[in-house]
Amino acid sequence: MKELLLCKYGEIVLKGANRAFFENLLCRELKFRAARHGNFTISRSQSTIYIEPQDDDADIDGMLEATLKVFGIVGVSRAAVCEKNMDDIRALAKAYIPQFMAGAKTFKCEAKRSDKRFPLGSPQIAAEIGGEILSVCPRLKVDVNNPDVVVRVEIREFGAYIHAGQYKGAGGMPLGSNGKGLLLLSGGIDSPVAGWMMAKRGVKIEALHFESYPYTSEQARDKVLDLAGIVAGWAGSIRVHVISLTHVQEELKRACEEDYFTLLLRRFMMRLAERAAREFECGALITGESVGQVASQTMEAMAVTGAVVSMPIFRPCVGMDKEEIIQIARKIDTFETSILPFEDCCTVFTPRHPRTRPELCKVEAQEALVDVDALLEEAWATMYHVNVRPDGSRAFWEKRD
């Protein structure tokens, strides 16, 4: 019996003339991921992508799991295929479907006939195949309104397909279909979620992390790379650029009023992030900020920190409650890593009374007490790069000019 995966895609069906561009990106991503699971062919027809194993070594379970993390796909069915005639379809239904009925009490059978030359109509196909399934699973009952399992027969261009149930796909848009963004990645809960959300919209991710060694530890940095690895499971390999803010923080502490530390630090971060985004050809910055969550995320504080950059800043968590962000963090499996207790550079030298309604002119006056340009250059020179792959493995990466 020949099994394969049928993938349905969502929003890109609506893309009109650009549709092929999105479909090609999606197929390319699937091919790339399939390579780890064996020999598969990937083709498309009638708004469905077919992933077919080419030999017995191809790991269809592994490929199914990988496919569920590919943005742009809304549903995946594990199906069996046969010739387009009722005898073969009946035999296949009896042999293939019972394994999916363990624990089910009710089912219904639906048919879709996209090959209109097939002699039977959809209701007839559904009734006949439903009958065959009942003959081998006599304890099952038909329930057309709320069945435990939906069996589908699809008469398509190249064959007849039968499957029982569809796995929910990751949704969103194919990776790379909406440019590249630079994620400011901390070790917290919010920024990995923000990166995942933008990747889901087709944005390829690069990441920038600020450390403050020795005030922050190597474990804190490793935790960030672990988080990047988890997000990479969905978003593909992520290059993480790491910059040290140690001297910036020491200088701010030496020269400026404590209440402004966090705001001033965040302005340094944003400037360096914009420079990195331009260097690595990213069209936007991405942060995990959520309005009102902490002192530096009031509307006024965000205005003061956003004022130093001219490129768009995407804040996909901005209108979400912490609980909603945590829900996504659990779903994408970053939560348990995010809550490991390591310090972040934002928590080093935290002011006791941070400004929540800062005035730009006062922030600028504080900033004038340090040599901004020199500090930026010095911080920029500390940058190193780590490429984090979807399996979590890492390699230091050298930028070549």
Q: What is the binding site for ligand ATP (CB under 6 A)?
A: 184-186, 188-191, 208-210, 287-289, 293-294, 296-297, 344-346
Q: How far is the CB of 378 from Mg ion (least distance, A)?
A: 23
Binding track, positions 287-326, relative to Mg ion; x by CB under 5 A? ----------------------------------------
- Residue 246: which of Mg ion, ligand ATP, none does it interact with, CB under 5 to 8 A by kind? none
- Which of Mg ion, ligand ATP, none does 7 bind, CB closer than 5 to 8 A by kind? none
Give the shortest CB-301-to-ligand ATP separation in angstroms.
9
Q: Which does 298 bind (CB under 5 to 8 A by kind): ligand ATP, Mg ion, none?
A: none
Binding-site partner at residue 190 among ligand ATP, Mg ion, none, CB < 5 to 8 Å by type = ligand ATP
Integer Cα distance of 13 and 128 in angstroms: 32
Measured from the CB of residue 129, what is the shortest distance to ligand ATP in angstroms? 51
Binding mask 208-237 for Mg ion (x = CB under 5 A): ------------------------------
Residue 191: CB minimum distance to Mg ion, A: 7
Site string for Mg ion, 323-362 (x = CB under 5 A): ---------------------x------------------
Q: Which of Mg ion, ligand ATP, none interacts with 173 (beta carbon under 5 to 8 A by kind)?
A: none
CA–CA distances in Å: residue 384 to residues 47, 198, 311: 43, 24, 23
**Cα–Cα distance, 48 to 12 (Å, whole number):** 12
Kindly give the pairing relationship between strand 167-168 and strand 160-164: unpaired
Angle CA(364)–CA(370)–CA(372) in degrees, nearest 5? 75
The identity of residue 74, as a single letter, is: V
168 closest CA partner among 278, 56, 71 = 71
Residue 77 binds: one of Mg ion, ligand ATP, none (C-beta under 5 to 8 A by kind): none
Please report the DSSP string for 133-154 in residue order: HHHH-TT-EE-SSS-SEEEEEE
In the complex with ligand ATP, which residue's Cβ is closer, 46 or 219? 219
Comparing C-alpha atoms, which of 318, 317, 296 is closest to residue 305? 296
Report, in Å, the least distance between residue 254 CB and ligand ATP. 21
Strand, coil or helix: what is 397?
strand
Nearer to Mg ion, 115 or 222 (CB): 222
Least Å distance, CB 361 to ligand ATP, is 23
Q: 13 or 339: whose CB is closer to ligand ATP?
A: 339
Which residues, 185 to 204, sit near Mg ion by CB under 5 A? 186, 188
Contact 216, 331 (CB under 8 A): no
Q: Which is nearer to ligand ATP, 79 or 194 (CB)?
A: 194
CA-nearest of 270, 344, 266 to 313 is: 270
Minimum distance, C-beta of residue 230 to ligand ATP, in the bound complex (Å): 14
Which CA distances in Å does 367 have to 78, 265, 273, 309, 364?
Answer: 59, 10, 18, 15, 5
Q: Which partner from the list Mg ion, ligand ATP, none does 244 bind, CB cut-off 5 to 8 Å by kind?
A: none
> Cβ neighbours of residue 388 under 8 Å, at least 6 residues apart?
225, 228, 229, 232, 237, 238, 239, 240, 394
Torsion of CA 262, 263, 264, 266, to 10 degrees: 80
Q: By the 8 A CB rule, do 101 and 164 touch? A: yes
> Residue numbers of the site for Mg ion (CB under 5 A)?
186, 188, 344
